[in-house]
Chain A
Amino acid sequence: MTSRGRIARAFWVLTLVIVLAVLAFALRGQF
């Protein structure tokens, strides 16, 4: 994987974790 590919992967991993945290926050106590 190229350096740009590795940076993009790092970005998507960070974004995914943050988005999951947002979803977990929003969904708490909804069900």
Chain B
Amino acid sequence: MPAAILVLFYLALTCAPLALSALQGLPPRPLRDELASGVALAGLAILLVEFALSGRFRVISGRIGMDVTMRLHQLLARASSVLILLHPFLYSGPQSLRPGLTPPGSAPLNFDWPGLWPGIVAWLLLGAVMVMALGRDALYRHEVWRALHGIMALVMAGLGVLHATRAGRYSGDPVLWGFWWVLFAIAVLSLAWVYAVKPLMKARRPWRVSSVTRLADRTWELCLDPEDHKGLRYRPGHFAWISIGKPAVSLDENPFSIASAPADGGRLRFVIKELGDFTNRLGQVTPGTRAWVDAPFGSLTLQRHDKAGGVALIAGGVGIAPMLSHLRQLDADKDPRPRVLFYANRAEDQIACREELDQRTQTGPLRVVHLLSDPPKGWTGETGFLTPDVLTRHLDAAALKTWVFVLCGPPPMLHAVENALLALGVSPRNILLEQFSYD
């Protein structure tokens, strides 16, 4: 489905309550009252569609990209919050509801307690969900926050719909009433899909840890073998949510780029850096431990770049994982296109899979450019950061024009390199990047 159709579908869904309300033909109330209803109708619609923008639905994130999906989820949540938080303050006040002051034929607002309390609770919950989301990195383990976020958002959305259908001037109409509850049912199903259906599907396809090997300083390779099933269908550049040594239904799962290539067979390989939580204990995981895989996700794939004249892979640190997948598959396919890997690290002992990369430079059309920001004495490779000067030393004008550029690494590096590539005239269409942290 083209991204433009997804955008139009999004706008149709979020504007539909306004259209359905206007079509009811009720005489308009004072501007402030209509505005109060309008922001609530749009805000609630945006809120309900947020469940589909959670990043776990490939029809969306696979099409527009995981970064775009998650960033839009965050930004649209803020827009929805502003609209909903404004909602109660926009009404012109109880005096406008008195029969004498309400325009003839205008239905009064329903201030009955059964209609009001769900709105008050949902409104307060919205503030709590926003505060928790903005402070998530400082306050909670990610898994705890993710579960709380989903559950609180669902309760808030349900109460919001209850409030709208009980107290709203327009949402009591059967068509709009049905619209709200169908959207809420989809929201419930989306959470049920992520937290119940997908885990049950995962449970039928277990994996086993076959090895955990130290590759470089605080960097490990984790290998998983499928247990009595054919494994995973994926493309180089995809990532997976994996959990190790936990039940299939568990919140303890983490996203990691797949470093193996589909051509390698059923075994999945991941390159993982110790960054806290589960990753710090990776060296203690023993072969034979059961693991679960939810994949594939992501859009760092080359499937729409078959005609690129070459491939430039730009990795920072553990961002090497998807690049290894690409290189392994390109070599397995005997793809003749030239390729360059820019591999940035702080220190030399952080370079992972160096021997394999050296070997690939001798057997295929690959060049590897190592960059170290803290080089040892005698280092002959590039130093510092990946600037336009470094790029142009290794890529000619034709490469900048016709190659595809795949970026994975820490967000500051990604943004700096993206800016450098754009400054050198690389088309935004030829730049693929993905990051796992936002804001």
Q: Which residues of B contact A (CB under 8 A)?
A: 7, 10-11, 14-15, 18-19, 21-22, 27-28, 31, 34-35, 37-39, 41-42, 46, 67-68, 71-72, 75-76, 79, 83, 415, 418-419, 422, 428, 431, 433
Contacts A7-B68, A18-B15 given; does A25 touch B422 at CB 8 Å? no
Residues of chain A within 8 A of B31, CB atoms compared: 26-27, 30
Query: Which of A8, A10, A22 is close to B42, meaning CB atoms less than 8 Å apart?
Result: A22
Instruction: Indicate if the CB atoms of B76 and A2 lie closer than 8 Å.
Output: no
Instruction: Indicate if the CB atoms of B46 and A29 lie closer than 8 Å.
Output: no
A21 to chain B, nearest CB (A): 5
Q: Which of B19, B34, B415 has the most CB of A within 10 A?
A: B34
Contacts A1-B428, A17-B11, A18-B46 given; does A7 touch B71 at CB 8 Å? yes
Residues of chain A within 8 A of B14, CB atoms compared: 14, 18
Residues of chain A within 8 A of B68, CB atoms compared: 3, 6-7, 10
Instruction: Indicate if the CB atoms of B39 and A3 lie closer than 8 Å.
Output: no
The residue in chain A whose Cβ has the minimal distance to the Cβ of B36 is A26
B123 to chain A, nearest CB (A): 18
Instruction: Indicate if the CB atoms of B11 and A30 lie closer than 8 Å.
Output: no
Would you call the interface of chain A mostly helix, strand, loop, or mixed? helix
* A27 and B15 alpha carbons, distance in the complex (Å): 15
* A11 and B10 alpha carbons, distance in the complex (Å): 12
* A11 and B14 alpha carbons, distance in the complex (Å): 13
Q: Can you name 11 A-B pairs with beta carbons within 8 Å? A: A1-B428, A7-B71, A14-B72, A17-B11, A18-B15, A18-B42, A18-B79, A19-B42, A22-B42, A25-B38, A30-B28
Instruction: Indicate if the CB atoms of A11 and B76 lie closer than 8 Å.
Output: yes
Residues of chain A within 8 A of B18, CB atoms compared: 21-22, 24-25
Instruction: Indicate if the CB atoms of A14 and B7 lie closer than 8 Å.
Output: yes
* A18 and B415 alpha carbons, distance in the complex (Å): 30
Query: Which of A4, A6, A15, A26 is close to B79, meaning CB atoms less than 8 Å apart?
Result: A15
Residues of chain B within 8 A of A8, CB atoms compared: 75
Query: Which of A6, A15, A17, A26 is close to B34, meaning CB atoms less than 8 Å apart?
Result: A26
Query: Which of A3, A15, A28 is close to B28, meaning CB atoms less than 8 Å apart?
Result: A28
Instruction: Indicate if the CB atoms of A14 and B76 lie closer than 8 Å.
Output: yes
Residues of chain B within 8 A of A17, CB atoms compared: 11, 15
Contacts A14-B10, A29-B28 given; does A22 touch B71 at CB 8 Å? no
Residues of chain A within 8 A of B431, CB atoms compared: 3
* A2 and B420 alpha carbons, distance in the complex (Å): 10
Contacts A2-B419, A28-B28 given; does A7 touch B15 at CB 8 Å? no
The residue in chain B whose Cβ has the minimal distance to the Cβ of A19 is B42
Query: Which of A3, A19, A21, A23 is close to B428, meaning CB atoms less than 8 Å apart?
Result: A3
A8 to chain B, nearest CB (A): 8
Instruction: Indicate if the CB atoms of A2 and B422 lie closer than 8 Å.
Output: yes
The residue in chain A whose Cβ has the minimal distance to the Cβ of B67 is A3
B55 to chain A, nearest CB (A): 14
* A29 and B38 alpha carbons, distance in the complex (Å): 14
A15 to chain B, nearest CB (A): 5
The residue in chain B whose Cβ has the minimal distance to the Cβ of A8 is B75
Residues of chain A within 8 A of B35, CB atoms compared: 22-23, 26
Instruction: Indicate if the CB atoms of A14 and B418 lie closer than 8 Å.
Output: no
Instruction: Indicate if the CB atoms of B76 and A10 lie closer than 8 Å.
Output: no
Residues of chain A within 8 A of B71, CB atoms compared: 4, 7, 11
Contacts A3-B418, A22-B18, A25-B41 given; does A11 touch B75 at CB 8 Å? yes
Residues of chain B within 8 A of A19, CB atoms compared: 42
Query: Which of A1, A7, A11, A15 is close to B67, meaning CB atoms less than 8 Å apart?
Result: A7
Residues of chain A within 8 A of B433, CB atoms compared: 3
* A28 and B19 alpha carbons, distance in the complex (Å): 11
